[in-house]
Amino acid sequence: MSIQATIEKKLRDAFSPERLSVVNESHLHAGHHHHDSDHHSTFDGAGETHFRVRIVSPAFAGMGRVERHRAVNALLAEELKAGVHALAIEPAAPGEPTRW
């Protein structure tokens, strides 16, 4: 299963969203520099390393923005440790305005 499919499944299982969009934005980051403890490299834009998560879920009702981000980051901690470098999160509760 791809990282994107894994992220989508985890989000669906945990938050039962009304709307969900997981966008692989890795190609938008080609040429950016990534640093880890072992080496410095220029990212070529391939693979599954940068994602945008747009999610509307009743689970976010009554939660602040930071709480929502923490909940998504905690759920996807394994993927973040395993090579996902960036996760842009756009969470909303039903009825809240979204930009997408």
Distance (Å, whole) CA 32 – CA 2: 23
pLDDT at 98: 94
User: Is 9 part of any domain?
Assistant: yes
Distance (Å, whole) CA 6 – CA 58: 21
* Residue 20 CB-density burial (10 A; 0-12 exposed, 13-18 middle, 19+ buried): middle
Sign (positive/negative) of CA torsion 65, 80, 35, 90?
A: negative
Structure pTM? 0.81
Helical pair 65-75 and 3-15, crossing angle rounded to 10 deg: 120
User: Is 52 part of any domain?
Assistant: yes
pLDDT band at 32 (very low <50, low <70, confident <90, very high): low
Digit-coded pLDDT (tens) for 75-98? 999 999 998 989 999 999 999 999
For residue 30, give its domain range: 3-92
Number of domains in the chain: 1
User: Is 31 part of any domain?
Assistant: yes
pLDDT at 46: 59
- CATH for 29: 3.30.300.90
User: Is 30 part of any domain?
Assistant: yes
C-beta of residue 89 within 8 angstroms of C-beta of residue 61: no
User: Is 97 part of any domain?
Assistant: no
Q: How many CA atoms lie within 13 A of 81 on its CB side?
A: 5
User: Is 70 part of any domain?
Assistant: yes
